[in-house]
Amino acid sequence: MKTPVVRIFDSTEDIADHFANILFRAVVSAGTWYKASVALSGGSTPRAIYSYLASLKGNLLEWNRIHLFWGDERCVVPESPESNYRMAKESLLDHINIPESNVFRIKGEEEPQYEAERYAETVSGLLPHENHIPKFDLVMLGLGEDGHTVSIFPDNILLFHSDRLFEATENPYNGQQRITATGKLINQAAMVVFIVTGRSKAGTAASLIEKRGDWKNYPASLVQPVNGELLWLLDEEAASELGK
């Protein structure tokens, strides 16, 4: 595994601008015959990132050359305020020129086990494979204060090691059913980017980056790309415990 890279920014907008350039490079490296495959993260942090991407004018990002997926989804209808797809649709998809055929949402309204299998087949059929595992160009991840990422929580950390690409699970704090990518898929990606903002996550981020304290109990600690790059994009607040 390559040494993780940590970048600290003054603002979420600066993070978003850097992420836009990462996206741009993913499109370029995918070449003209393939589309860059990107797995979006959910929760609230990405909303500002997606809004910034939507605000970019001109052709910096050729969305027709990007296939968008999700790393996880809540098992709700796409119109639900809880839906990761709805958040991305409101903040990004409705404002960019991306063909509908380039957007592959996890259908939270379907039976979870069935949808986890269907979505795994969709991803597997659209992405190139390396060592028989689909390889994303870019996986965007968030981080919970408890060290969860996608929808793999500390109480079920072993789910990360599932042999499946996606699993049905639940948020242990409210019982909400989820569908989540697993480590088999995440760690196969060419690049994995954690985007973490806010003071509340500073302790968890520092523990993970500096491999101290409870870091091994955090599912996010298992994100170790086999051949890809791991990048942390933090704002000053989320980085405030580093080196302490």
Q: Which residues are at the interface with ligand 6PG (CB under 6 A)?
A: 41-45, 72, 84, 142-144, 148-151
Structure tokens at 228: 């890809």
**Could you identify the residue written with the tokens 């903040």?**
91
Name the minimum Å distance from CB 66 to ligand 6PG: 19
> Minimum CB separation from ligand 6PG for residue 195, in Å?
8
187/227 Cα distance (integer angstroms)? 8
User: Tokens 């870091």 label which residue?
Assistant: 215
- Tell me whether residue 144 or residue 183 sits nearer to ligand 6PG (CB atom): 144
Q: What angle do CA 98, 44, 189 make, to 5 degrees?
A: 60
> 3-class SS at 161?
helix
> Cβ of residue 231: shortest distance to ligand 6PG, in angstroms?
15
Shortest CB 88 distance to ligand 6PG, Å: 11
Q: The dihedral of CA 126, 127, 129, 134: what is its sign? A: negative
3-state DSSP helix/strand/coil percent for the chain, to nearest 5? 40, 20, 40
Phi, psi of 210 (to 5 degrees): -95, 5
For tokens 């978003």, the residue is 16
Q: How far is the CB of 46 from ligand 6PG (least distance, A)?
A: 7
**Shortest distance, CB of residue 31 to ligand 6PG, whole angstroms?**
29
Give 30 or 88: the residue with its C-beta nearer to ligand 6PG: 88
Find the shortest distance in angstroms from Cβ 204 to ligand 6PG: 10
Q: Which is nearer to ligand 6PG, 64 or 171 (CB)?
A: 171
What is the distance of C-alpha 15 from the center of its chain? Answer: 15
In the complex with ligand 6PG, the residue whose CB is nearer, 13 or 130, is 13
Of all residues in the shown chain, the one whose CB is closest to ligand 6PG is 142
User: Which one, 27 or 103, has the nearer CB to ligand 6PG?
Assistant: 103
DSSP string, 98-144: --GGGB----TTS-HHHHHHHHHHHHHHHS-EETTEE--SEEEE---
Closer residue to ligand 6PG (CB): 72 or 137: 72
- Comparing CB distances to ligand 6PG, the nearer of 188 and 204 is 204
